[in-house]
Amino acid sequence: MISDSTKINLEDWGFDNYFKDLAEKEKDSQLIPARVIGHNRHFYDIVCEKGFFSAKTSGSIRYNSVLKSDLPAVGDWVMVSIRRDKSYICSILPRKSRISRRCSGNVIDEQVLSANVDIVFIVMSLDNNFNLKRLQRYISVAASSNIKCVILLTKSDTCENTEELFEEVKKIAGGKEVYAVSSFEKKTEELLKTFVKPGVTAVFIGSSGVGKSTLINTVSGSNIRVTGEISSAVNKGRHTTSARELILLESGGMVIDTPGMREIQNWQEEDSKGFEIIEELSQKCRFFDCRHDTEPDCAVKEAVANGILPAETLEMWRKQLAESEELKQKKAFSLKILETRKSKRNKNSGRKN
């Protein structure tokens, strides 16, 4: 359904020269570019030059999609067919970037949290939600995506030891920018607007109740996101964002709000991503392939003993290294299954033809 007759300027939605060139190379002249700005169980919300529509994926996309990452995600640029009151997503333009995680459970699959993002804000509150191990997970996921990452520590106005917690975060941040903020202060809005500029797409990720939606309200200057009540009994926010959604701000720039995630596992296998301090210290170890366990003259273990590196960071590195090696093995096994499945599909398609 078209929202109005006003022609949409796609450049406001991030349609730059990179995507223009890709769209022009499409063979089907009947298709037009659009951006995915929302997703529910049955439809994708898209914006194109003709307005706003609810679209389904074409049969070709559904048939050829083996992984979840083969399907559109919020932030994707796609080519769509609009015929009267029906809209179909026919192809997905190659992504500039994406924030992904491994699907929860035993399934070996990639879940794209958001696509074509320029900056990721990792949000953690300075209350009972404060958890350095969880934060390290988010840092690793963002770092593996090679996207600019900024850490926002919310509810600084209600925290009595903000400076102490701030320094703990700085130790594991790997040189990334860290800010203690309060949504009730004007300077928070000014800070966010230095990052979220016209044409820039930002995503806010973090656990439920840390204040992601409130920060989006802050940077927008209006109450465009409904925030949940905070229970004084458990001091946790209710789930207020149930689906990912891309929002265009009046001041320019775009933000993606995401549901709170209790669990996040890195889909990428690079164990050093997000652990730059360990990678730097490793250069001083006696052995180039030091595992920082029982080896002598280990600079990393020495840094832990001297209080330079938190022991929790080394523990998280070891845990993620083990998970990375396990993921490599499972991916290899899963890849064989996928290749067999694709081969069968191609054979069946050939028979039909």
**pLDDT category of residue 225 using cuts at 50, 70 and 90:** very low
CATH 3.40.50.300 residue spans of the chain: 98-257
pLDDT top residue among 32 and 341: 32
Distance CA 41, CA 116 (A): 22
Structure tokens at 340: 């067999």
Distance CA 290, CA 353 (A): 56
Highest mean pLDDT among 33-47, 212-226, 229-243, 280-294: 33-47
**What CATH number is given for 10-92 in this structure?**
2.40.50.140
Once rounded to an integer, what is the mean pLDDT over residues 145-152?
A: 89
Structure tokens at 184: 């009730």
- The candidate with the shortest Cα–Cα distance to 124, out of 192, 247, 208, is 208
Percent of the chain with pLDDT over 70: 77
pLDDT tens-place string over residues 280-306: 888 889 888 888 888 888 998 898 888
Q: Residue 2: its pLDDT value, please?
A: 45
Distance CA 216, CA 221 (A): 8
CA angle 82, 225, 249 (to 5 degrees): 60
Distance CA 74, CA 258 (A): 10
CATH 2.40.50.140 residue spans of the chain: 10-92
CATH 1.10.40 residue spans of the chain: 276-352
- The candidate with the shortest Cα–Cα distance to 195, out of 287, 121, 138, is 121
Q: Residue 221: its pLDDT value, please?
A: 67
**What fold does the segment set 98-257 form as a domain?**
Rossmann fold (3.40.50)
pLDDT greater than 70 at residue 346: no
Q: Token match 């938190």: residue?
A: 310
CA angle 273, 105, 339 (to 5 degrees): 80
Residue 200 carries which DSSP code?
A: -
Distance CA 56, CA 16 (A): 24
Question: Kind of pairing, strands 98-102 and 254-257?
Answer: unpaired
The CATH architecture one would assign to domain 276-352 is Orthogonal Bundle (1.10)
Q: How many CB atoms sit inside 10 A of residue 123's CB? A: 26
